[in-house]
Amino acid sequence: MKKKGKSLAELLIDVRIARNKVQNIINRMQNKIGTYNHIFMRNVASFPHLSKMVARESELLENVMDHLLTLEVILEILEIKIETIIYIGNIVTSAASVVEAIKLLKESFNLTPDISLLLDDIYSNFYVNVDLPKEIKINVKEEARSVLLDAEKIAEKRKSETYYQVNT
């Protein structure tokens, strides 16, 4: 049986959790390095052997810290990339509902043949370039009606604004 992967949103949450944990570790290491540096400075004259051990430990922690800082930056970049993918997915879905609204509008009344062909071309080329899953296509058709209603309201508002501008 094939194991189902996580959704992008769940993956984004995992990346944010990992980044938070790395940041917490970095903060603890910074405190520890500060403490070691303080111990080194305080005991360098009295306990030179102990001070050397503390200095070596501090160096090791700083090396680990460099890697953790790099990891934190990589996780941040990944977080941004996943957010972008999610956002672009939303844009594609929104664009699909607008394209479907064009089809609904075209079906509601007869247009000139050249405009009708142009709209058909836009509709078909959109779906050639953007492959949407079946369940999204069903939702898009429902959203297209609301897009069409919103567009009609905006057009009506613009029409009334133009009318008042002409008369003033």
Q: Is 136 helix (H, G, I), strand (E, B) or coil?
A: helix
Q: In the chain, where are the structural domains located?
A: 7-133
**For the segment 50-60, what is each residue's pLDDT rounded down to a tens digit?**
888 888 998 99
**For the segment 88-131, what is each residue's pLDDT rounded down to a tens digit?**
877 777 788 888 888 888 887 777 787 888 888 888 888 777 77
pTM of full prediction above 0.85: no
User: Which residue intervals of the chain are DSSP H helices?
Assistant: 8-43, 48-108, 113-129, 134-167
**For the segment 153-168, what is each residue's pLDDT rounded down to a tens digit?**
888 887 777 655 555 5
Distance CA 26, CA 30 (A): 6
